[in-house]
Structure 1
Amino acid sequence: MAAPSSRYLALAGPTASGKTASALAIARHAHTHWNLQVEIISVDSALVYRGMDIGTAKPTAEELATVPHHLIDIIDPRESYSAAQFARDAQQLIAGIQQRGHLPLLAGGTMLYFKALFEGLSELPEAEPALRSQLEQEAQRHGWPAMHARLTKIDPVTAARLAPNDSQRIGRALEVWHATGKPLSHWHAQGSDTGVAGLRPLALISLEPSERSWLHQRIAQRFDLMLEQGFLQEMQALRARGHLHPNLPSMRCVGYRQAWEGLDSGEDLSVWREKAIAATRQLAKRQLTWLRSMPWRQSVACDAEDALQQVLARTEAALKGQP
């Protein structure tokens, strides 16, 4: 298969900023007004899991049937999926979509996935089980927030994009530091062996609220809608499978982690609901920090009344080669 070109679009933004609706609108508009078929590639580390539908705000069956989607429901929650895997899969998908004469549209909010595609990922040192076990024992004694504080001192760049309880990524970052004497951010800056380094899109359209309170309200409303749609029942069904546990990457997804911990401890629904909403707000803050570090993005105020029109205008300009 031929290597992909940069003739693709990217749509990013924090959680609850309206990415799904905007991506579908781009696809409909392109088909109706430009006679152009769009295929959407999901850039979301939670949407890859089968059976995790409500808590991930996965597009509905009707939405998925309207426009071709990729990298959704591709693995079981027992499995893991890395940024390097995403970069390779996205590269192949982009090339295939382009060969069909269609336009690839990458849409999502997993910023490390975007980084892997735009800039590539470095060859990280192999995992060391003994060192990982030692770090996990320390975390059991002191807690992951304390381990995060340690990471802040040795690798502030990496620590700034991680939640204090993100055990998997904090552990990996500390492991890399102890194994090599160099921070994870150093390795990420070294270049790539993914084969897609420097593959920037025609445009990166970034949905960013002008008022943070608007996004916070949207996050709370969306989580309450998830509860109404049966998120608690979805979580109970996942736990009932018997082979899932809270240390899996799938169960560390925002919302799922808090629900699992709440069900384990017998917390009232209102308590872990607040924790889940707070964690989602922290996720959105980290996503916005990442986006604002990319001056070449094209920002659209997602809380503006004409946000969708702005997205479509940016899309058309990018396809016409305009700035």
Structure 2
Amino acid sequence: MALDARPRAIALMGPTASGKSACALDLAWRLGGEIVSVDSALVYRGLDIGAAKPTRDERAQVPHHLIDVCDPWQPYSAAEFAQAARAAIDGIVARGKLPILAGGTGLYFRALLEGLSDMPEADAVLRAAIADEAGVRGWAALHAELVQVDPEAGARIHATDAQRIQRALEVFRLTGRPISDWQRNARGTRLPLSVLKLVLAPAARSSLHDRIAQRFDAMLEAGFLDEVRALRALPGLAAHPQPLDLPAMRAVGYRQAWEYLDGNATAAQFRERAIAATRQLAKRQYTWLRGELDARRFDPATQAAALQAAVQGFLGR
């Protein structure tokens, strides 16, 4: 059997707060790697503390890519991410370094590793019309319409996920064909690398819940609310008619902090809601990860040696 001569890459997947960033930094430091963030919150400038973005010191130790690429009021699609990430990976490979793909955004991983279906490009006029319609009817009503025309997408997309509702309706109205059908018949171009998929997750879900709460309290201590106050003062967000509909502000913790600063929750309610939202994110990530059948799973707290052995075996070292 011929040896796989493709360049190697490591994909570190897992739920939020599972230790992916620390593991990626350690592997990159020891193996001569560079990190490509696969996280839909880290692309936004200004989302630092609440998004658990690598610190400046960490980014100085090891090159990081796909961090701080757009402002929080700007749209950024999975297709844009995949294109930019593949360009970054090409550069890493050309430098003789190991690409380490780390994050918890399933759509970004799928777009990067498998490619996206050749769906119609965004139509600015139709997109604006759908947004205007939502301003009158509400996103819940548009989600109900989506359920009627595309039950599969309607079940998958949350009723408050304005960006994905808008895109699904846009595709249907442009083509008369449900977006789920386009996605199901995807023929994207796979990433031309040999990729070791590693899922990092505590064996006990309660352990992850404890980590989530502890990390959020540490974020508060580090000045998370001041970070959100600074975001609210940015002209691009302050002028937006519905800032909480923006993907950046739907990142867990940020919406809850914004509502707290608006006076719509007590400090205790804010903390409880933010932690609950983060746990819900982790639950959705676990659901996605169950579908990654070719991934190897490790508890980073108890199986560090086995994880390292898997990496060394993959790299042939």
TM-score (norm 1): 0.85
Q: Counterpart in 1 of 2:19?
A: 18
Deviations 1:133-182 (A, max 9, x none): 56546655665456545545654544455443211112222332343333
Deviations 1:84-135 (A, max 9, x none): 1111112111121111111111111111111011211122224445654565
Distance 1:312 1:149 in 2: 47
- Return the letter of the residue paired with 2:302: D
Q: Counterpart in 2 of 1:268?
A: 266
More deviation in 177-186 or 226-235?
Answer: 177-186
> Residue 145 of structure 1 contacts residue 164 of structure 1 at CA under 8 Å; is this kept in 2?
yes
Distance 1:276 1:210 in 2: 23
More deviation in 93-102 or 239-248?
Answer: 239-248
CA RMSD of aligned residues (A): 2.6
More deviation in 142-151 or 311-320?
Answer: 142-151
- Return the letter of the residue paired with 2:111: A
Q: Counterpart in 2 of 1:84?
A: 79
CA 1:146 to 1:269, structure 2 compared with 1: closer, same or farther past 3 Å?
A: farther
Count of residues in correspondence between the two structures = 308
Unaligned runs of 5+ in 1: 31-36
Trace 1:153-232 onto structure 2 (pairs within 5 A). 154-155=149-150, 157-159=152-154, 161-192=156-187, 196-199=189-192, 201-232=194-225
Distance 2:224 2:274 in 1: 12
- Return the letter of the residue paired with 1:279: A
More deviation in 50-59 or 152-161?
Answer: 152-161
CA 1:300 to 1:154, structure 2 compared with 1: closer, same or farther past 3 Å?
A: farther
> Residue 204 of structure 1 contacts residue 298 of structure 1 at CA under 8 Å; is this kept in 2?
yes
| Residues 1:318 and 2:314 aligned together | yes
Q: In structure 2, the residue corresponding to 1:315 is in which secondary structure?
A: helix
Aligned-pair identity (%): 53
Unaligned runs of 5+ in 2: none
1:238 Cα shift?
0.8
> Residue 7 of structure 2 contacts residue 93 of structure 2 at CA under 8 Å; is this kept in 1?
no
1:278 Cα shift?
1.9
| Residues 1:66 and 2:83 aligned together | no
Q: In structure 1, the residue corresponding to 2:46 is in which secondary structure?
A: coil
CA 1:134 to 1:75, structure 2 compared with 1: closer, same or farther past 3 Å?
A: closer
Q: Counterpart in 2 of 1:102?
A: 97
Q: Give the counterpart of 2:116 among 108, 121, 125.
A: 121
Distance 2:100 2:17 in 1: 19
